[in-house]
Amino acid sequence: MAAHQQHPSTPPGGVGTDTRRDDGGGLTGAVVVVALVSAISGLLYGYDTGIISGALLQITDEFGIGTGWEQVIAASILAGAVVGALVCSRLGERRGRRGTLLVVAVVFVVGALAASLAPDPVTLSLSRLVLGFAVGGATQTAPVYVAELAPTRYRGRLVLCFQIAIGVGIVIATLIGASRSIDWRVAVGAASVPAALMLALMLRLPESPRWLVGAGQVERARESLARVRPSGTDVSGELDDIGTLVRAESEASTRGWRGLREAWVRPALVVGCGLAVFTQLSGIEMIVYYSPTILTDNGFSDSAALRVSVALGLTYLITQLIGLAVIDRVGRRRLTLLTLPGAALSLIVLGTFFVTGNDGQEQVPYIVATLIAFMAFTAGGIQLMGWLTGSEIYPLATRAAGAAAQSASLWSTNLLITLTLLSTIETIGTGQTFWLYALFNIAGFVFLYRRMPELTGRSLEQIEGQLAQGRFRPADFARAR
């Protein structure tokens, strides 16, 4: 959930507006490579988190482990992601986006190879912890890097390559898991190949011109821009605009992590982090990580459970694409509030199958259909919001810190769920656990209905203006139209 920082805005006191002009540049080979790097990092995120779903069936047999270790192995990547998101947020500001992504690519390679060679569950968990650092760092840095190098007219589409690639990574992971012919060590280690490609591509790319201007390296920023714009393009105007925005950010009275504690910024932080928490409490990670384990524990064959996992991965990708296509027409708030009840109802129905004992072979098609319905409602709704709001809900000078806090909230909740889910199922039952997550969806609906304003169609200046005036409730935005 990285801060895309596309359109800086006006903090209280009148510091700076977004004067960034359309640079007029077309897509160059260098910009396509930048987007490809972002897509690879997104694919690695989806693949490395999704591959454990099918691999756990083999890992459990090989190591002879139980529920506790399964949870630790699945969750270790998430603990690393929390650290990676926070560390790489600061690293990206101090050492640059390119330097940070080079580190992330190396860690991806090392983590994947170490996990594939792990001789025991302890080493495997530690290796996935390292891998998680790269996952968290990629989500924090890659979209920022693309946004700061892409031509204005293509920026949104290129940044979304990261979002789409996550779904592609999950689908690939579920397909490999379902094949059952690929050893889990090969499947896990295969992630080192795209990671090595990402590293090789990063070595050929320039640093973010926006970061270079902020570091006082204006001539290097000019060279960086010239490398990603069509030959002969005069980048002076774009460079001047970047300089204006960087000065506005440096002069803002509310800045960085300390700025998030300001009373007028706090409503955005509450909404952003609350939304991040509920994207995970929706139960989607429960399904992505553990659906084969849950289904096989309840009488499904391994092959049937893995085929269901593939269907869920495809549903995730397709509904994400549909959601991205309609979100600007339907609205962020409206799309979230329309889909959350469907997700809650799906989990209630799903839980009822298991609680009432209607989970035999005759009911398998209905259980699978309900799982797919849940995935569609969740992936095409609230899951989109967790990754979008970090780039638009916070004031300019706190945007990077706010996005990092939101990302850490998301990963921490994901970690808690993954560490406790199987134990919760053993304690209260499968159906009751689905009902519990249905309640979380209902709570999310109530929270977002009361607190999340409709941000669609609002400029970042308008959003920040509402914050500065202390008018950040949904009704305030409705009246301001």
The pLDDT assigned to 479 comes to 67
> Ranked by mean pLDDT, which of 59-68, 136-145, 187-196, 421-430 comes out on top?
187-196
Q: Is 9 a residue whose pLDDT tops 50?
A: no
Pull the structure tokens for residue 473.
């409730």
The pLDDT assigned to 20 comes to 43
Q: Is 447 a residue whose pLDDT tops 80?
A: yes
Average pLDDT value for residue range 52-65: 87
Are 111 and 133 in contact by the 8 Å Cβ rule? The answer is yes
Taking only the tens place, the pLDDT of each residue in 163-219 is: 788 889 988 988 887 777 789 999 999 999 999 999 999 998 999 888 898 888 999
The better pLDDT of the pair 406, 256 is held by: 406
Pull the structure tokens for residue 41.
């990092």
Average pLDDT value for residue range 70-93: 88
Q: Considering the chain, what is the average pLDDT of its residues?
A: 84
Average pLDDT value for residue range 75-98: 88
Average pLDDT value for residue range 23-38: 77
291-303 burial, b at 16+ Cβ within 10 Å, e below that, comes to bbbbbbebebebe
What distance in Å separates the CA atoms of residue 144 and residue 6, rounded to the nearest whole number? 9
Q: Is 11 a residue whose pLDDT tops 90?
A: no
Q: What is the percent of the chain with per-residue pLDDT over 70, rounded to a whole number?
A: 89
Q: Is 346 a residue whose pLDDT tops 90?
A: yes
The pLDDT assigned to 397 comes to 74
Are 308 and 371 in contact by the 8 Å Cβ rule? The answer is yes
Residues 6+ apart with CB under 8 A from 335: 323, 326, 327, 380, 381, 384, 385
Tally Cβ neighbours within 10 Å of residue 341: 14
The pLDDT assigned to 4 comes to 35
Taking only the tens place, the pLDDT of each residue in 393-424 is: 888 678 778 878 888 888 889 888 888 888 88
Q: Is 47 a residue whose pLDDT tops 50?
A: yes
Q: How far is CA 24 from CA 41, 183, 211, 295, 318, in A?
A: 28, 49, 21, 53, 32
What distance in Å separates the CA atoms of residue 259 and residue 358, rounded to the nearest whole number? 53
Pull the structure tokens for residue 381.
């709704």
Pull the structure tokens for residue 137.
């760092």
The pLDDT assigned to 155 comes to 67
The candidate with the shortest Cα–Cα distance to 472, out of 381, 352, 362, 389, is 389
The candidate with the shortest Cα–Cα distance to 294, out of 471, 99, 130, 67, is 67
The pLDDT assigned to 16 comes to 36
Question: How far is C-alpha 230 from the geometric centre of its chain's CA atoms?
Answer: 31
**Residue carrying the six token digits 């010239």:** 226
Average pLDDT value for residue range 100-112: 95
The candidate with the shortest Cα–Cα distance to 74, out of 437, 430, 421, is 421
Pull the structure tokens for residue 306.
């893995």
Tally Cβ neighbours within 10 Å of residue 22: 9
Whole-number CA gyration radius for the chain? 22
The pLDDT-based confidence of 337 (bands split at 50, 70, 90) is: very high
Are 291 and 53 in contact by the 8 Å Cβ rule? The answer is yes
Tally Cβ neighbours within 10 Å of residue 26: 12
Domains of the chain: 29-479 (1.20.1250.20)
The better pLDDT of the pair 232, 221 is held by: 221
The pLDDT assigned to 179 comes to 76
Question: How far is C-alpha 355 from the geometric centre of its chain's CA atoms?
Answer: 33
Q: How far is CA 42 from CA 154, 176, 316, in A?
A: 18, 18, 14
DSSP label at residue 9: -
Question: How far is C-alpha 310 from the geometric centre of its chain's CA atoms?
Answer: 20
The candidate with the shortest Cα–Cα distance to 312, out of 61, 69, 46, 60, is 46
The better pLDDT of the pair 11, 254 is held by: 254
Average pLDDT value for residue range 49-77: 87
The pLDDT-based confidence of 21 (bands split at 50, 70, 90) is: very low
